[in-house]
Amino acid sequence: MTRCGMVIDLKKCIGCWGCAVSCKEEHFLPPGILWNRVLISEKGKFPTVTKIMVPVLCNHCKEASCVEVCPTGATYKREDGIVVIDYDKCIGCRYCLISCPYQQRIPYKDDKKEYFPNQGLTAFETLGREIYPLQKGTMTKCNFCVERIEQGQESGLKPGADREATPACVNICPVNARTFGDLDDPGSKVSELIKTRKGEPLHPEFETEPSVFYID
What is the total count of domains within the chain?
1
Output the pLDDT for position 133. 87
Asked if residue 1 has pLDDT above 90, the reply is: no
Task: Assign 121 a pLDDT band (cuts: 50, 70, 90).
Answer: very high
pTM as predicted: 0.94
Whether 154 has a pLDDT exceeding 90, the answer reads: yes
Tell me what the mean pLDDT of segment 15-28 comes to.
Answer: 96
* Through-space distance between the first and last CA atoms of the chain, rounded to whole angstroms: 28
Q: What range defines the domain where residue 162 resides?
A: 4-215
Tell me how crowded residue 214 is: count the other CB atoms within 10 A of its CB: 20
Give the model confidence (pLDDT) of 24-78 as tens digits: 999 999 999 999 999 999 989 888 898 899 999 999 999 999 999 999 999 999 9
Q: For residue 203, give the CATH number of its domain.
A: 3.30.70.20
Beta strands 37-43 and 83-85 are unpaired
Average pLDDT over residues 141-160: 96
